[in-house]
Structure 1
């Protein structure tokens, strides 16, 4: 069984790339905003099931989390997701 190892910094970066707020991501995961904030600030760790769900949601949105052999972490955003996030940010608020 492969453990999901998503770092809080990656989650914040992924949200920023997609233009998602903490409320947006928490709702998609089914997690309280406070729990997400605590994870993103390193106050609490996330359960393996929560990390799997988070990885799946981000993957569907075009984000892949990466880690190099030297241990550097990062993420990639698909071109389609990049274009969608740009369009989404340009839409006026209702």
Structure 2
């Protein structure tokens, strides 16, 4: 399921060290749309647009954490094969 909040989107992009332009390039979504999603929230965007943005960040290692009583969030996944 693809759902993220504007705060998660900004935090995920920061974790990756990406500019809005880099996220636009990697997701295939225009930079003005990325800016609008981060400002107003992705809920105003088409489902395919949200999916493309979230998928680009997930492919780069971001995990989206749903609201679970402690607030929604993001984290970078450990690389596969990393020591625990």
Which residue of structure 2 lines up, in the alignment, with residue 76 of structure 1? 75
Which residue of structure 1 lines up, in the alignment, with residue 66 of structure 2? 67
Aligned length: 78
Q: Does the CA contact (< 8 Å) of 2:6 and 2:41 recur in 1?
A: no
The answer for unaligned runs of 5 or more in structure 2 is 80-84
1:20 to 18, 21, 29: 18
**Post-superposition shift, 1:71?**
6.7
Structure 1 length-normalised TM: 0.72
Counterpart Cα distance in 1 of 2:40 and 2:29:
16
Coordinate RMSD, CA, aligned: 1.8
Counterpart Cα distance in 2 of 1:6 and 1:33:
18
**Post-superposition shift, 1:63?**
0.3
The answer for unaligned runs of 5 or more in structure 1 is 81-94
Structure 1 residue ranges (4+ consecutive) displaced by more than 3 angstroms after TM superposition: none
**Post-superposition shift, 1:52?**
1.3
The structure with the largest alpha-carbon Rg is 1
1:37 to 35, 38, 43: 35
Structure 2 length-normalised TM: 0.79
